[in-house]
Chains A and B, each alone.
Chain A
């Protein structure tokens, strides 16, 4: 073992590295800290602009108000439902479709694959898609945010690539034993592919949960307001008018409500974040480092 000599350059690089990363991490943390602080501060402190990184006049009324708001809860549940339904449908269809597509020797598969890949680079655009959903009577219907995005080709290709890494010998021996393709899919392929399914499920779930544009365009009915759209309304001060009188009643500042709503909307993501980290990183590695 050679002796490791620490030079002054070593110190310089280390110090710089720690400082740079700490600064960057702080820049990442400071804005949310301000928002969280505001959500926990008293009305007078927020209005006079005194709130920095720590709450002043700590109170939980704002949060109570925000979290018990019927529209908030309704939107939360709606987003949850859409995420579960949309993700479930997506992973089933994508995972199933990816299997035949991983069998390049089958006649016609390459053509069908091309048909899918082509849509990654070219699409009808906003208006034609809108007009189509209008024609199909899907406007203002949950199907508008669940079905059009059902198969994300990029994600499906990740699943397909994963299938291709499974050893052929497994299927071959199963075939020799007389198993049908479907049998092989369900008994062998699916159980072995759980990691990639977990990754794609998380990718898809986060995308659904955070989607603003699609629900904003297609779900105009006030009963179909998803969490992102509701949050946007609150931030832009166009939330339900009944709020105004209740504000005075509870002595809750609108700025505090905005901050608390932002925080409350983020909690679900924070809860699953550890899993997201683990599987998302895996997914990036599977999907992109291809030689």
Chain B
């Protein structure tokens, strides 16, 4: 009997002290209010708006007045040849990106680390970080200009060697490569920073010991540098896989055109064209939701894997 009332007292005391703490720190909670209002209106309300994916949304009738169609849009999506094409493009682009543009920053970081001349190192870094700060409008503008079939820099060089000018951005065989190349041009240098930072975390003593044991530069790279940043590489790789369905919508939007829709149209641009272009609100939202959910699941899996394998996670 005594024990039970003792427990009861404890709970009461705990509850009371929670309220006391809240009252004492009322100003902290006050600070949180604007952010929370913003969160609810601009983040969670649209999440609720996702319901139009299950409706035959009519903009004049609003969400409450539109008819329910359940999973109809999702079924259409899965049977749609167009969506299949778009999904395939997104996946392929992401895979090309991973194969070519994932190793590149790592390579850059390792090679940069081998340079002893500080002035050269800083100069190179300053140059290769710069494109990251340019907008995609500028970068796409640059590439559209130099790839122009009539007088563009690249085609001028091709003509110089006796070749015929290629209309790169209109060519289905070239378009994906151009997307990957321009993406690498813009981002590879900057992405190297994380690996550069990771390399500086490797203890110099390891290198000293290896040198004493007679290891040459290449052996040092293979047996010290690479293992030293391995956990960073694995974590970033797994996270990259988690984002496999997220391909640069802005980049594609600025560089594609109807002649290359077949190979260049990705989920993001498709959602944009269907939604704001054709005003097919419900279907577009369904595609977006489909993409979000799969992306969410993938990132959760990726993060769990990363935590299991290399004990690193994004939070």
| Residues of A participating in the B interface, judged by any CB pair closer than 8 Å | 2, 7, 9-10, 13-14, 16-18, 20-22, 24-25, 27-32, 34-35, 38, 46-49, 52, 93, 96-97, 99-101, 103, 106-108, 112, 115-117, 119, 121-132, 147-148, 150-151, 157, 180-182, 185, 206, 209-213, 217, 228-229, 231-232, 235, 255, 258-259, 262, 265-266, 269, 273, 276-277, 281, 284-285, 288-291
Q: Hey, which chain A residues are within 8 Å of B120, CB to CB?
A: 18, 21
Q: Interface readout for B36-69 with A: 1 if CB under 8 Å, 0 if not?
A: 1011011111111110100000010000000000
Interface of B is mostly: helix
Q: Within the assembled complex, what's the spacing in Å between the Cα atoms of A17 and B117?
A: 12
Least CB distance, B227 to chain A, in whole angstroms: 17
Complex Cα gap A47–B151 (Å): 7
- Assembly CA distance A265 to B141 (angstroms): 11
Residue among A22, A124, A150, A181 with the most chain B CB within 10 A?
Answer: A124
Say whether A269 contacts B137, CB under 8 Å: no
Stretch at the interface among B5-13, B87-95, B107-115, B166-174: B107-115
Interface flags, B216-236, vs A, CB<8A=1, else 0: 111000000000000000000
| Complex A-B, nearest 6 residue pairs according to Cβ-Cβ distance, in ascending order | A124-B46, A128-B49, A125-B288, A210-B135, A49-B151, A97-B35
Interface CB pairs A-B, < 8 A, 20: A7-B216, A10-B217, A13-B217, A17-B114, A24-B108, A30-B153, A93-B34, A97-B31, A97-B34, A100-B32, A107-B18, A123-B46, A126-B284, A127-B271, A131-B281, A132-B49, A150-B42, A151-B39, A211-B135, A281-B193
Pairwise interchain contact B271-A262, C-beta atoms closer than 8 A: no
Tell me if B299 and A106 are in contact (CB < 8 A): no
User: From residue A189, how far is it (CB to closest CB) to chain B in Å?
Assistant: 12
B253 interface residue (CB < 8 Å to A): yes
Given A35-B145, A209-B135, A231-B138, A125:B50 Cβ within 8 A: yes
Q: B25 near A181 (CB under 8 angstroms)?
A: yes
Query: Among the interface residues A30, A49, A151, which one has the most CB atoms of the partner chain B within 10 A?
Result: A49
B168 shortest CB reach to chain A, Å: 13
Contact status B127-A235, CB under 8 Å: no
On chain B, the residues within 8 Å of A211 by CB distance are 135
Tell me the bound Cα distance from A73 to B223 in angstroms. Answer: 55
A24 touches B193 (CB 8 A): no
Nearest neighbor of A291 in chain B, beta-carbon distance: B312
CB <8 Å contact, B285 and A18: no
Q: CA A56 – CA B238 in complex, angstroms?
A: 49
Chain A residue with the shortest CB-CB distance to B155: A49
- Is the C-beta of B260 less than 8 angstroms from some C-beta in chain A? no
> A28 contacts which of B141, B185, B285 (Cβ < 8 Å)?
B185
CB pair B133–A273 under 8 Å, yes or no, is: yes
Whole-angstrom CA separation of A18 from B189 in the bound complex: 15
Give the complex CA separation of A290 and B217 in angstroms: 29
User: Chain A interface mostly helix, strand, loop or mixed?
Assistant: helix
B151–A255 CB distance below 8 A: yes
Chain B interface (Cβ < 8 Å from any Cβ of A)? 18, 21-22, 25, 27-29, 31-32, 34-36, 38-39, 41-50, 52, 59, 108, 111-112, 114-115, 120, 123-124, 126-131, 133-138, 140-146, 150-151, 153, 156, 185, 189, 193-194, 197-198, 201, 212, 216-218, 249-250, 253-254, 271-272, 275-276, 281, 284-285, 288-289, 292, 295-296, 299-300, 312, 315
A25 touches B271 (CB 8 A): no
Cα distance, A130 to B285, chains bound together (Å): 11
Please report the C-alpha to C-alpha distance between residue A269 and residue B137 in the assembled complex, in whole angstroms.
Answer: 13
For the complex, what is the distance from the CA of A47 to the CA of B159, rounded to whole Å?
16
